[in-house]
Amino acid sequence: ALGAATGVPPSFLRPRTTSLKLPGGLLYTRSSMASIPPAHELVRLSTGSPDDGKLCILNLDGQGRVLDFIYIGRDPVEPRNLACLVGMQEAYLNSCLSLHKRDLVDDWIMFFRDDWAHAIYHDRFQDLVHNLRAMLAGDEGGMEVLDLLLRALEDGKDDATISSLRSNAIGPAGEKLMPSTKKLIETSTLDFLKKNKTVLPFYLIPDGKGHK
């Protein structure tokens, strides 16, 4: 069995998702990582309320990674899609932390059903994420942000401080990144959409001639 050779329980990297019916006709769906810090260490982003008949809670760690998503409501949701969100950095999710702070999100379910989110649920989206990480590791702008965060880590800064430094260095939708770094990300993302346009027809892709 997995982990039997060392006697150490296996570490599960993929989220666990549970869906069930609650009394009163309510539906409950939760997708979460196997290990979640105490509540006081999480960044809780909620929409709705029990009085509204729909409550959604998105829990992030101090570095902006989604660890947990909880839905309680009367309408069916898409558990498989919600599971794709867990483990992702919020920057990949349309900078959802910044949008929530600006009161631009009033329903997480509708937010993650919007057209922009379809690519996240594609089975090759993680390939795009891995490729971007590899390219940014050798990019001047990416290395500049990484060096900033590593210095903060070496200085013993806490997660909240490091997360704030990262957000300030990158900006919403990457607006504070070096132009060459933004171009690298945009080009890689467009290449991904072009290669998968038959299953992701929701996006308008520039044709290189100034048209879409």
Q: What is the pLDDT of residue 104?
A: 96
Please report, to the nearest 10 degrees, the dihedral formed by the alpha carbons of residues 100, 155, 150, 172 taken in order.
20
Residues 6 or more apart in contact with residue 91 via CB below 8 angstroms: 64, 170, 174
How confident is the model over 149-156, as a mean pLDDT?
Answer: 85
32-36, 134-138, 153-157 — most confident range: 32-36
Residue with the two structure tokens 């929409």: 47
Please provide the DSSP assignment of 136-196 as one string: HTTSHHHHHHHHHHHHHHHTT--HHHHHHHHHHHH-GGGTTS-HHHHHHHHHHHHHHHHHT
How confident is the model over 15-20, as a mean pLDDT?
Answer: 94
Q: What is the Cα–Cα distance from 105 to 118, expressed in whole angstroms?
A: 18
In which band, very low, low, confident or very high, does the pLDDT at 16 lie, cut at 50, 70 and 90?
very high
In which band, very low, low, confident or very high, does the pLDDT at 7 lie, cut at 50, 70 and 90?
low
pLDDT higher for 128 or 66? 66
Q: What is the pLDDT of residue 62?
A: 86
Please provide the DSSP assignment of 11-25 as one string: PP-S-EEEEEEETTT
Please report, rounded to a whole number, the percentage of residues in the chain having pLDDT higher than 70. 89
| 144, pLDDT greater than 60 | yes
pTM for this one? Answer: 0.74
| pLDDT digit string, tens, across residues 39-53 | 988 999 999 998 888
